[in-house]
Amino acid sequence: MQGFTLLEMMLVMFVLMVLVGAIAAIVRGTILLTDEMTQAQNKDSRLNAFAQLCERTFRGLPAQAMVRLRNTQAGNRYLYQLALVDAPSPLNAGGLAGDVTVFETEEAPDGYLRIFLRSMSAEQALAWENGETDVGVRLPLLENVAALDWAFYNPQSAAWEPLWNESYLLPLNAGVLEGLPPTPADNVEDPPASADTDAARRTLASNAASQLRAMQRGMRPGLVEMKIAVGADPPLRWVFWVPPLKAK
């Protein structure tokens, strides 16, 4: 019985090595494709979750909540601070009057943007307005953001605006209102004392305070537009409805 020659053994080993290499390449390619698909699904899920959070937040704005958008230029793009005053925070279900929720962006070391949600009390918001950055609770929402732009629909001008109530200061709580100039009701001459006069004065003062609070909250946009691009993907657009502002 004749055995295999050395050449035949080497040929068989060579064929086996080629087959093993081909199988390994297929397995490696399948794993990489699966990882890429998983990463893409996770990225889409986080982006959709962020958009749903924005939609719920805007749709659930209380009747007297204020919306303010400011930006700062960083190179050829803008960093935004979208503040919602007297609005319930996703991080604080209870909430108090004057609480502030901020969607803010910052530049990451890799050149992309990161989106954070900051939740603050009225006192913390006052310190934040004065330049303190380490206040409130800050939660990362989205990373690897290539571009983010906000726009607000003005019902009066029927136009989209890139900024909103940017000159208004935070917070809008009772302590801030107490430091404002007297309202017209405070300058009314004292009429003869009577129950009807006292009721009229209280009504006038209440109306004046209500108007003052409404003025301090600026205008409420009818719609909010968000354009966002994550990674190398093309930008996507969402439009959120905002309930109208009402004076209390």
- Please give the single-letter amino acid code of residue 130: N
Strands (E), the chain: 66-74, 77-85, 100-107, 113-120, 137-154, 159-161, 223-230, 236-241
Write the CA distances from 202 to 102, 198, 199, integer angstroms. 36, 6, 5
Q: What is the pLDDT of residue 118?
A: 94
Tokens encoding 37: 């698909």
Around 104, how many Cα atoms within 13 Å sit in the side-chain half-sphere?
A: 20
Q: Does this model's pTM top 0.95?
A: no
Length of the chain equals 248
Q: Which residue has the higher pLDDT, 202 or 238?
A: 238
**What is the per-residue DSSP string for 42-76?**
HHHHHHHHHHHHHHHHHHT--TT-EEEEEEEEETT
Per residue in 95-108, pLDDT (tens digit) is: 556 789 999 999 99
Annotated domain spans of the chain: 52-173+214-241
The C-alpha angle 116, 117, 120, rounded to 5 degrees, equals 135
**Cβ–Cβ under 8 Å, residues 92 and 117:** no
Per residue in 48-88, pLDDT (tens digit) is: 999 999 999 999 898 888 999 999 998 888 999 999 998 88
- 62 burial type by CB count under 10 A (0-12 exposed, 13-18 middle, 19+ buried): middle
Euclidean distance between CA atoms 151 and 127, whole angstroms: 27
